[in-house]
A and B are shown apart, each in its own frame.
Chain A
């Protein structure tokens, strides 16, 4: 499993806009780069990232090879109610990884 780092506050006030930062370990191999033997390395990238907040999708990113290795994404959401945020990265070669974090809103 790839290592992922998710940064968001654990608590927020109702209506507060919180910033979420995510990082995941992934080479994002472009498919445009020759390997040591001169042959092109096959593309191996994360193509999609989805963040859900209590099952509603609040942020979706479609990624192309121009996204840097170990993709970093920052976005915001309104803290509406205490609940679970689910983060899913998916991509080439069947790559899927999901992480969850809880947010307390009070």
Chain B
């Protein structure tokens, strides 16, 4: 059985029970929300339209522990000097901060594919944005269900 779950109540349940609620709330950092994520994305792309398609975010739909979630982003691009991906940026909507990572690449990458492992504090939507060499942006996203939340050890 897990060390933190399921016999230990989750933070939410502890708060609901009123057990140490004040202390927990005092410690709880501000969280990103779908709105703060959208704001962070707007900061990156400005008023540019976000086109869907020709881009894939590969992330497991259900993860056993939010401390480490495999994420792969692939953009359909010839990756030539004239037409390539400049940047791939990852966002989330329920961690303390909406930013996850930003990857700069270029024609020398050969392929527009990056992979990493991220933390997800809760079940939420992950968004990937690609900045193309012509200055346009694409986006894609995926829902991830987290069965063991990250960031609640102790």
A and B touch in the complex (CB under 8 A): yes
Q: Which A positions have Cβ atoms within 8 angstroms of B? A: 17, 30, 32-34, 36, 38, 40, 53, 56-69, 71-78, 80
User: Looking across the interface, which residue of chain A has its beta carbon closest to that of B100?
Assistant: A66
Q: Which of B30-84 contact A (CB under 8 A)?
A: 67-69, 72
| B105 in contact with A59 (CB, 8 Å) | yes
Chain B residues within an 8 Å CB radius of A80: 108
Give 10 closest A-B pairs by Cβ, nearest first.
Answer: A17-B110, A74-B115, A68-B117, A78-B110, A60-B104, A68-B68, A66-B100, A32-B29, A62-B102, A64-B99
- Complex interface bits, B106-132 against A, C-beta within 8 A gives 1, otherwise 0: 101111011111111000000000000
Q: Is the interface of B mostly helix, strand, loop or mixed?
A: mixed
Q: What are 26 A-to-B residue pairs whose CB atoms are below 8 Å?
A: A30-B96, A38-B23, A56-B108, A57-B104, A58-B106, A58-B109, A64-B100, A65-B96, A66-B92, A66-B95, A66-B99, A66-B101, A66-B120, A67-B119, A68-B69, A68-B117, A68-B118, A71-B116, A72-B115, A74-B113, A74-B114, A74-B116, A75-B103, A75-B114, A76-B110, A80-B108
